Amino acid sequence: MFVNHCHVTPEGSLDSSDPQAGTIAALLDIMDELDIERVVVFAPLPNHFNDPHRANQWLWEQVQANECLEGFMTLNPTDSRSLAIAEEFAEKGLRGIKTHPPVYRACIDDEAAYPFYELAVHLQLPILFHTGVHGWLLDNYRPILIDRIAQQFPDLQIIVEHMGGWEFFGEALAVVRNNSNCYAGITSTLAADWAWYIPDELLRHMISLIGSERVIFGTDYPFRQQDGIRADIEAVRRICDSPEETDNILGANIAALIGCD
């Protein structure tokens, strides 16, 4: 398996009572237990590093030391500093970008972000957008806004992560159906007690509409831990109609998207 969406942080930075919480070492242990061969890891969000360059530099150093890790930068598209950072770390070998509009207070379709999206196309870096209710003004990051970006930048590869959750699933599905450059990220949508839960029947219908080739599974580590990730993987197998669909969602799609054999 090759899975997406693992948040990693330096030792002791996530939970003072458990210095290993959120660390790469703890993630590697989970990977061994669950037979996960490779993962996409994200640079820490601003609450761990005040400097976006430092955060992405730290991630790049970790990726160099672990062949089973593929790194995504974490950046704010409306921050002018992000352009130089994206160029630097794309050249160093990071494979994509994760952005979190409500955390960054960055409106998805703000024209100030357009140079960043254009650069991502030039660098051939996919962008993963967090979607789903997460505070701030919903009108600034509701999934339908991604449609404008996908249309404006048709060569930009986009992951619509969490598929908007229950509240915005319809919008997210409309965006993915409407744009062949968009992928459905189903991280944290598979557990009924989780914030972005989407019922099995809706996920099955989504797969029937867009095809399993545009669906990507992620762990949401460390917010999802070993038992939860195991249950989510089993849920993927449950909603798929064939081994081919399962293989696509649990590895083949993310590998193809980032050009990783």
pLDDT tens sequence across 70-92: 999 999 999 999 999 999 999 99
Q: Which of 8-12, 73-77, 124-128, 176-180 has the lowest mean pLDDT?
A: 8-12
User: All domains of the chain, ordered by start, with CATH?
Assistant: 2-257 (3.20.20.140)
Distance CA 60, CA 71 (A): 7
Cβ–Cβ under 8 Å, residues 158 and 116: no
pLDDT digits (tens, 9 = 90+) for 11-69: 888 776 888 889 999 999 999 999 999 999 999 987 677 899 999 999 999 999 999 99
Q: Is the dihedral of CA 214, 44, 71, 148 positive or negative?
A: positive
Query: pTM of the predicted model, to two decimals?
Result: 0.97
Give yes or no for a contact between 254 and 41, defined as CB atoms under 8 angstroms apart.
no
What is the distance between the alpha carbons of residues 52 and 177, in angstroms, rounded to a whole number? 33
SS3 call for 137: coil
- β 38-42/2-7 pair status: parallel
Tokens of 111: 């024209």
